[in-house]
Amino acid sequence: MKKLSLAKSLASIGLATVCAFGFAGCSEGSEGDEAPSYTGGIAATVNGVEIPEDKVTKAIEDIRSQMGLTDEQSWGEWLAENDYTPETVREEIVNSYVDQELVKQGSEALGINADSAEVQQYVDSMKGHYDSDEAWAEALEAVGLTEDEYRENIELSLVSQQLQEQVGSDAQEPTDEEVLESAQTYVTSYDGAKKSSHILFEASDEAQAREVLDKIKAGELDFATAAESYSKDTASAADGGNVGWDRLSNLVTEYSTALGDLNKGDVSDLVTSTYGIHIIQCTDVFEAPEELTSLDQLPVEFQESVRAMLTSSNQSNAYYTWLEEQRTAADIVINDMPEGLPYYVDMANFPKDESADDGAKVMGVDADGNPVTLDSNGQVVEGTDAEGAEGEPVAGGVDESAEGAEGEAADAAGEAEAAVEGEDAEGAEAANTEGEQPAEGAAE
């Protein structure tokens, strides 16, 4: 049985997070589509806007299907193991739809709309990952979406993103003291971090790469000068080949492995990756102090990473505060759970195994709305995020960078390739685009 545990201790998590990060049941139905019929009725109203019970039921049934929990036994066991009941599952899904409606209404009141051209750009970009219209249609069908539904989800994602930016624009900037306090938590994860530069050659230019390497090692050619003159990675070449710190970047495996063998000042042999041939120089190694008492003890890049994380957290908190205020002011009516629902099971038949809690890891989201793994104490396990096949259409937008509890739309695919490719927490390759430094790192 495929398990996905869901934490309840953070904002916008649990099954609502599953909605945002890739389950088809959380999608909006297009007008004219024939919705499945279950029990009928209205689950809730938000300022008079109705949320159909069948919409909630379909969301839960699609989640069950995605998780392989379609039979009563596996579904009941999963509910028991994760401290859910059919009633609390419904409650979370209903609340997620309530929040969606509040976002829609709040955005309209603030004059926030999604640009249709931008929406189409995202749709076309994702569609471009597939060889044919048939393959694209099959991919959508696999997650229970039509193209119109997918487009509507992109619209909602973009609107939500703009809303969060507008609401969070007045969020307090973190102070140096707050950055230092947060950095003290993360500093050990930076220990041993390596900063590097590289020179990239086409795979067919091995002879030239070897010649340049020999001159560098003989002291006849400066590394930074060589990068500016020869490197095909134009983004880093202008900065002497600087790629930055490995703990703040996503590096292709071959590059990362070679860098791991270098000490400060060392230059690698030729390193071949899918992007060509690299010559790598380790330019710095960070050794974490026993006690971090000043930001000056941290490289500026680590300071900026922590500061950006805190800024994002403050903006997210401002958004959640706004959303809670909308909830308080809204006329929200949530109706009782009807009988005869297909996901109902008698939980008396599924006693929880208390021993399963020891050391259990659960899924939640961090302060930025990014999915993360939590340990039994609710602490984030470093270097984790939610599972998801790269490049697949999902209910929250695009799973390549579904940031934020509302599932913000991903960056458009197919941007210019860079020399250094990355791997996400699951090992899925994710290319770093030219001119951009990867944002993921230990501070997350």
Task: Answer whether 330's CB lies under 8 Å from 47's CB.
Answer: yes
Residues paired with 284 in a beta bridge: 195
Domain assignment of residue 439, yes or no: yes
Give pTM, 2 decimals: 0.63
What single DSSP character describes residue 410?
P
Domain assignment of residue 363, yes or no: yes
Domain assignment of residue 339, yes or no: yes
Same domain, yes or no: 139 and 231: no
From CA 85, how far away is CA 6, in angstroms rounded? Answer: 13
| Total domains, the chain | 2
Domain assignment of residue 65, yes or no: yes
> In the prediction, which pLDDT does 172 show?
84
Which of 416, 440, 437 lies closest to 428, judged by CA? 440
Same domain, yes or no: 56 and 113: yes
Same domain, yes or no: 344 and 409: yes
| Helix (H/G/I), strand (E/B), else coil: 216 | helix
Q: How confident is the model at residue 34 (pLDDT cuts 50, 70, 90)?
A: low
Same domain, yes or no: 140 and 200: no
Model confidence pLDDT, tens digit, residues 21-31: 333 344 444 44
> In the prediction, which pLDDT does 141 show?
84
The CATH number assigned to the domain holding 428 equals 3.10.50.40
Domain assignment of residue 352, yes or no: yes
Same domain, yes or no: 32 and 157: yes
- Going from the C-alpha of 215 to that of each of 224, 265, 267, the distances in angstroms are 13, 16, 12
Same domain, yes or no: 159 and 206: no
Model confidence pLDDT, tens digit, residues 49-62: 999 999 999 999 98
The amino acid that residue 52 corresponds to is P
Specify the long-range contacts of residues 142-146, CB closer than 8 Å, at least 24 apart.
Answer: 142/392, 143/22, 143/23, 143/24, 143/66, 143/392, 143/393, 143/394, 143/395, 144/24, 144/25, 144/27, 144/62, 144/65, 145/24, 145/27, 145/393, 145/395, 146/30, 146/33
Domain that holds residue 200: 192-287+418-444
> In the prediction, which pLDDT does 13 show?
31
